[in-house]
Amino acid sequence: MRKEVEEMRWRQRRGGKRQREEERGKGDEEGGRERRKDTEEMRKEREERRKKRGEWRQRRGGKSQRGGRTQRR
């Protein structure tokens, strides 16, 4: 009983991340496939976000803006 309570507390501390890791740990074929798919999708999304962010920075002229900020202070 005590062990279960400790495990529950640990999971709450770690949050949803721990549960996801446990799901990955399972040797199911479905789980493995889903994991691979998720990582690929995440990579694509991250790349898209980086591209968008880069374009936005170029449009705004981030470097000049940064310089202005430092001068004000």
Q: Using pLDDT thresholds of 50, 70 and 90, give the confidence band for residue 20.
A: low
Q: Quote the crossing angle between the two packed helices 16-25 and 29-60, to the nearest 10°.
A: 130
In percent, the amount of the chain with pLDDT more than 90 equals: 0
Q: Scanning the structure block, which residue is given the tokens 């449009």?
A: 59
Q: State the burial class of residue 13 (Cβ atoms within 10 Å of its Cβ: 0-12, 13-18, 19+).
A: exposed
Tens of pLDDT, residues 22-57? 555 555 555 555 666 677 788 888 888 877 766 656
User: Would you list the domain boundaries of the chain?
Assistant: 2-72
| Calpha distance 35→29 (Å, rounded) | 10
Output the pTM of the full model.
0.25
